[in-house]
Amino acid sequence: MPARQYGLWYDAWRRLRQNKIAIAGAVIVLALILAALLAPVLAPHNPLSGNIIDRLQAPSAAHWFGTDSQGRDVLSRIIYGSRISIQVGVISVGIALLIGTLIGAAGGYYGGWVDNVLMRVVDIMLAFPSILLAIAITAMLGPELKNAMIAIGVVNIPFYARIVRSTVLSVKETEYVEAARAIGGNDLRIIFRHVLPNCMAPVIVQTTMGIGTAILDAAGLSFLGLGAQPPTPEWGAMLSDGRSVMQQAPWMMFYPGLAIMLVVLGFNLLGDGLRDALDPRLKQ
């Protein structure tokens, strides 16, 4: 009896389920999503209001993660900060993914002078250190979370453009794309109907890992005062608030830093698992 044949996506899902490290990353990501969705239920206190009398209290039964310099509950602020982290990750990566995919698809499919012009623009962007370019863009637009998300999205465009371009270069030479051309399909239809859907595996991996990187970059900008502004409960801004009282109240930096580390780790582990699961060379 012949062995049962599975589709690419089912086969990838089967391999992903067998990867315990990837599952651990997925659990962390799921916990972040649940914390964001259930923040009003999970947070024991209002994240924006506090009592100055309770300022800098050590972790206790009343405040599990202690309080900050304004008497606000650190745990509640971390829980609500998960909402901002998801917002930053989705919007900034969405910007990079949309523009980068269009640039990479156009350059890879048309080639010639179109590819040369687009890739030289990408090379110029890659010549700048990512964090410095993000700082420059945020400084020009103004120090707020919305502008930080735009800056992070812009500096990540080249990575998606290169990934999509390299995949399109191989996919456009396949027989089904040639057949689509032969029956009179126009370029836009071929690109969006036949080429891009078959370029999604590496893009999905990069997107997953890119969300973690975007959260980390946003925390860095907020730490420098260029992202979320007080009293927004953003993890990087919370780290910045704790600098001046680091020795007196170390929990103000420890718990937000731990939250950033766990979330970025979760997305990286999940991204690594997706990369292994979607790699056709691992298919047995």
Summarize the confidence of residues 99-104 as an average pLDDT. 93
Residue 87 lies in a domain: yes
Write the pLDDT tens digit of every residue in 214-259. 999 999 999 888 888 888 888 998 888 888 888 888 888 999 999 9
* CATH code of the domain containing 183: 1.10.3720.10
Residue pair 157/206 in contact by the 8 Å Cβ criterion: no
Tokens found for residue 270: 């999940």
Residue 59 lies in a domain: no
**Given a cut of 80, is residue 45 above it in pLDDT?**
yes
Look at the block and give the residue holding tokens 């910045």.
240
pLDDT at 169: 86
pLDDT at 244: 82
- Is residue 4's pLDDT more than 60? no
pLDDT recorded at residue 247: 85
* 16: in domain: no
Total domain count, the chain? 1
pTM for the full predicted model: 0.87
- Please count the other Cβ atoms lying within 10 Å of the Cβ belonging to residue 123: 11
Res 155: pLDDT: 93
Whether residue 230 is contained in a domain is answered as: yes
Mean pLDDT of 131-142: 89
Is position 90 within any domain? yes
Bridge partners, residue 73, by sequence: 67
Kindly state whether residue 143 falls inside one of the protein's structural domains. yes
User: Residue 16 and residue 25: Cα distance in Å, rounded?
Assistant: 11
At 9 the pLDDT is: 65
Q: What is the mean pLDDT of the chain?
A: 86
Can you give the pLDDT at residue 5?
Answer: 47
Report residue 192's pLDDT band, with 50, 70 and 90 as the boundaries.
confident
**Averaged pLDDT, 259-280:** 86
Q: Which of the pair, 244 or 122, is modelled with greater confidence?
A: 122
> With 80 as the cut, is the pLDDT of residue 281 above it?
no
CA distance 152 to 18: 33
What pLDDT score does 2 carry?
43
Domain of 267?
Answer: 28-37+65-282
Task: Please report how many Cα atoms fall inside a 13 Å half-sphere around the Cα of residue 141, on the Cβ side.
Answer: 19
pLDDT in tens, 50-89: 788 888 888 888 889 988 888 899 999 999 999 999 999 9
Mean pLDDT of 274-284: 66
103 located within any domain = yes
Examine residue 48 and state whether it is found in any structural domain, yes or no: no
